[in-house]
Every structure is written in structure tokens, then in C-alpha cells.
Structure 1
Amino acid sequence: MSYVRGGRRLLAGFRLPGGWRPSWMDLLLALAVAVAGQVESFGRQGLEPGQIRHPVPLAVGAVVAGALLVVRRRFPAGALLVLVAVGVGVRVVTDGLYYPAWHFYSTLILVHTVASAAELRSRRGAAGLACVLLAYLFLQTFQDNDLAEVMIGAIFIGVAYVSGILLRRQIDETLRLARQAARLEAEREERARHAVAGERARIARELHDIVSHNVSLMTLQAGGVRTMLAEEARRERELLLGVERAGREAVEELRLMLGMLRDPGGTGVQLPSAGLDQLGTLVAPVKDTGVAVNVSVEGRPRPLPPGLDLSAYRVVQEALTNALKHARASRIDVTVSYSPGVLILEVVDDGTGDGGGQSGGHGLIGMRERVAMFGGELSAGPAPGGRGYRLQARFPLG
């Protein structure tokens, strides 16, 4: 592991002008070409035909070719032109008696890099194609090339060039899909945020109605008690008057702070009339659609805080809507369980679709907001047995 970390630090410190640095693949290719060139130059040294009489120029050329592979992604066409010049120089110095294999391998690698660097229809792509043709023409300047050598060189150069084009197109497609996935993820998160904001706004409107109604009742009752007290109970009358004024101020503050969340055109305070005692009215329209709905109550029903009662009603309402709209259910069982410390709502359907709603489950988002507001928990998923959908909400009581 220490060698790996040391290699990473070495690569991180190896940078070219402009902050660019080569990849591990570039360094490995460069090392392979340079080492293979040394082996070829000195391993085939000799005076016989097919051997190398002047190994030093070829060895130096192999090192230069390796250095060009290091910068091939930064200057692909330029590196190919320099490689052709190196080949010409080595040929002049050695009288053209031997064509090194490292030059051919390096040419194929750089042709592939040039093809993958830019679109052919662009100016940069056209210039790269011209460099590739120049490199191929250099290969055909050797006098011992026959028709087979010409065809073999064309096949290798063509395959390297086409593979570079295919690689570039694959990379472009991958980047396009990645950008599209990022955009879709951002849109999904934005829709989820809007859904949460909308649900919180609706909850705030309902809580505004509930709190305003209760504070208004407290204020009226305090005023009624104050008028019933005798004149001698001046201290008590003053305290009740303070309570009455504080209640009116609280209602006014609620109106100013939360009134903007009410529906446009709303007038006055509207009392929420929905609650678990009206589940019969809620499921009646669902039954009219032909869906069998069974509502059962377990335990002894007890009065609930208005806000919790309304939220529990909305959870059941949203669960029924999702079961009809998304799960395509034919039967829905609604169970309301009362216990000393918790209220449990369970809605199970036999549908085959998604019970969470469209666009990533905005219905579930709203229900979770309502349940979490009272410190509860909501779970949703496939029903036991894998058939249908089950939703359960737990509201703590106490």
C-alpha cells in the first residue's frame, strides 16, 4: 500500500504547464515504448541483414517517442507530427537500413489518440486527419514496401483511427447520459422540495385555522368571565382583561404571519371539519367507484387534538387516493387502532401498482411531513405476501 500511495504522490506532482498531468495509462505506454525500443535497438545490434548497425540513434528515438506518448492527450496532432519527424531523422542517420517497431507502435497509438480528440467535422478534427495521412505516407516511403506492406499499413492505421472515433463517440454518449441523469436528479429533488414546501404550506394553513380558532375561543371565554365578575373583583378583572388582550394580539400575529399561506380569496377563519370520525363520509365516494372499502376501529376511540385528528384524516385520504390512482386496487382495508400511547392507521390494498404516488412519491412526502410533525413514524411498502401495498402511520398520544 505504501508503494501505491507513493506512486499517487509522484503522479500528482508530475504536472505539465497549464496544470495538466498525464494519466497512469500514458506513463505506462511511454515506459513500454521506451524500454521496448532499448531492447530492440541493442538486442538486434549487428552487421548482418535485418540487424541494427547504429543502435544509439534508434535508442534515443525510442526515448523521444515515449516522451511524446506522455503528452499525447494534451497535444495529439503535434505529438504525431513530431513522431514522424523523429522517424525521418532516425532514417537519415541510419541510412534507412532498419525501420524500428517502436516507431510503428507509437504511430498507431497516436493515430488512435488523434481520432479520439476531436470531431472529424471540426477544424481540429480535419487537421488531425491530415496528420494521420502524413504519418501513413511516411510509412510508404520505404523502398522495400510491396503491395502487401501497403495494405497491412493501411489496415492498421485505419483500425487505429476508427477505434479512436468510436471511443470518442462512446465518451460523448457517456457524458451526455451523465449530464442527463444529473439534470433529472436535480429536477426530481426540485419537485420533492416543491412537494414538501406545498405540503408544509397546507399544514400551516390548517394549523393557522386551528390555533386561531382555539385562541379566539379562549379570548371570548376570558371576556365572558370578566363581564360576569362583580365590580369588587377589580384585580381579577384586570388579569382577565390582560388575558383577553394577549389572545387578541396572538390571533392578529397569526393572521399576519401565516395568513399569506391561505388560499387566495379566503375570508375569515374556517374551522377544519375533517377528522377520523368522518371516515365513513370519506370512503363513501370510493365505494361508489366499485372498490370494496372496509373500515375497522380497534380499541376505544378517544378525543384527539384537532391538529392530530386532521393530519390522521389527511393521511387516510391520501392513502385512499394513491390506492385508486396509482395502485389500481379493487379492495382497500382501513384499520384505526387506539391504544393508551399511540394511534395507528393502516391502509392495505390489493393493487398491483405503486402506492406512493407519482414523481418519486410526492404523496408519501406529504404524509411523512404530517406524521413527523407530531413525532410519529410512517412506513410504506409491499403488503405481506407480495400482493398489494401497505401503509402504516403511528401517531404518539399523551
Structure 2
Amino acid sequence: MNTGRRSARAALHLVGAALVTFWLFAGARPADPWTWIGVLAVLAWLGGALLRGAHRASAALAAVALAAASVAVIPTGGVTFTPVVVALLLLWADDTLPAWAAITASVAAPPLMAIGAIGQVPGIPTLLAFGGGIVIASLAGASRRQTRRFLRQEAILRQQQQEAAEQAARAALARDLHDVLAHTLGGLVIQLDATEALIERGDTDAALTRSRSARRLAGEGLDEARRAVAALRSGAGRDERVRPGEVMDAVGELLRTHRSLGGSATFETDGTPWETSDAQAAAVVRAAQEALSNARRHAPGHPVDVSILWSTDRVLLTVANDVADAGGTPSGGFGLRGMHERVAALPHGGRVDISQDGSRFQVRLEVRR
């Protein structure tokens, strides 16, 4: 479509230049020097119009067209006033050219016309018509300049928005993969340690059971990572709705995995689950996953208390556990940062509170409906 517009614009310039050239030679003798000055203006006009991509060359040729056409306007009976108008439009519309340069061109055109009119006495109406034409051409060019500048800024904004969206997508994938890997690999370490201990004791049946559990955990983690990547690549998932109860089932599955890895946990619920968006569900489930992973890593052997409270306008997840000492408290890291980022990205927002009261570490995540 842009190519078609450029072709149509070039054809219009060629037709206009041909008509001006015809009237130059039709209204004066070929030997008249003003005719050839007009031809120079026409050629510079065409060069400036057709070299729009080369801004410096286009501006230089437009300036030549303006100077030559302005000087020849009166001697040619106004035939070269068309190149004057076109040159002004080209100079004003070029938003890469300083505004003062376009203003200088508009101001310089009348004195150049006066130079060409030496020895002649054009009528007042003629002078007013030419002056008005210069003003109108300058205003039209200035309007075009503003439009192009707006379109350029709009294109920059679109590019920035696209880059921001790509950055957000990368951050979302990083959060999901971090949570999946922290949950899966942390669980695998526990299972493999237990398997090694069982083998050393000679309990091969129990070791085999642990080994199969580790393999199942690895397979689940791989499937979950693939789903996260597939959802990101397809752009799907963030606007989908999650049925009531699916969040509870997902958290329940995380607790079963936690118990299978040797941990102990309680799970309390209150209220009636309501339909959430995929992003809201992910915020709750991933927060529970990260909190359980942190509990296994920083407070092994300590029970974990998980609760989910559903109210009419929000859902509140609380995960709390005792820690052996303050040094074992997870005070940062990508997982906890990911909780804040997920909640901050939700349309209706929410809140994340991570605190420790004595030996009691607690994660509270609130998602607003």
C-alpha cells in the first residue's frame, strides 16, 4: 500500500512538472533565459520530490527549486509559481529539517520574486495572490510536518510498547520456569537423597519407590515447563477463565507432592471459590508452589500451614511455617520477587506480604476480584 502511494505521488509530480514545462515553452521563446531558469526549477523540483528518502539531497534540491522558481515567477507570468509552492511544501513537510530552515525559505521567497521583477511593474492583485499562495503553502506544509512528526512518534511508541510486551513475556516465562524448576529440582534433590540413604541401608524396595516418585516428579515438571512455554508462544492463556475449584485442586496437588517428599502440611479453606482469570489463578498457585519449595529448602521437617479464604471480592492465600533460625529465612530471590510481579500485573491488583514473627515465617497473597 505504501509503495502504491509513493508511485501515485511520483506520477503526480511528473505530470505537474510536464505541464509547467509545457507552459514555459508555450508562453516564451526558447532562447529566453527565464525559461531555462524555470526548467532548472522544475528539474530541482522533481529531484527533491523523488529523493524523499535522502533528506539532505531532497532539501537541497527543494531549496534550489524555490530560489530558481521564485526569481522567475514574475518574468514567466506566474508559470513557475507552482514549483515555488511545491518546494515550500517539501521543505516544510520534511520533519528532519529544522523548523527555522523552512521559515527562512518562506521568508526568502518574496524578496527573490522582487529580484526577478526588477524592471517590471506587477499589479497589486498579482503580488497579493503570490503572497497569499506562499502563506497557504507554508501553513499546509507545517500541518504536514506536524502530522508526520505525530506519526513518527506514534511509530516509536508502538515499538516501545512491543518491546515492553516482549520484555513482559520474557519475565513471565522466567517466573514460570523458575517456579517449576525450583519445585521440581528441589523435590528431586530430596527424593534422590532419600533414595541414596535407602540404598545404603539395603532397602531396595523403598529406594525403588523413591526413584519412581522422582521420575514422576521430573516428568510432571517437564510437562509443566512445556505448557508454560507453549502458552507464551501462542499468546494464549492470560485472558482465559479458570473454573471454580481448579485453583483448589492445583494447590491440593502441590500439597500431595509436598507430603510425598517427606513434608507435612495442613490445608484449610473457607468461602465459595469463584471463577478467576488464568493470571489470577497462576498468581495463587505459583505463590503456593514457591512457598512450599522455600519451606522444604529452608525449613525441612517443619510443618506447613496452608489456607485459602474466598470472599466475594478477593481470595487470600496464606502459607506459614516455622524456621529453625533467622538465617534460614528466605528473604529474597526470584521466586518471592515473581509473586510481587504477578500480582502487580493483575488488572484488579492485589497484595503480597512476606513477614516473620519470631520463628514463624509467613507468606500472604491477596488477589482482588
Q: TM-score, with normalisation over the residues of structure 1?
A: 0.46
Q: From the CA coordinates, give the structure whose radius of gyration is larger.
A: 1
Q: TM-score, with normalisation over the residues of structure 2?
A: 0.50
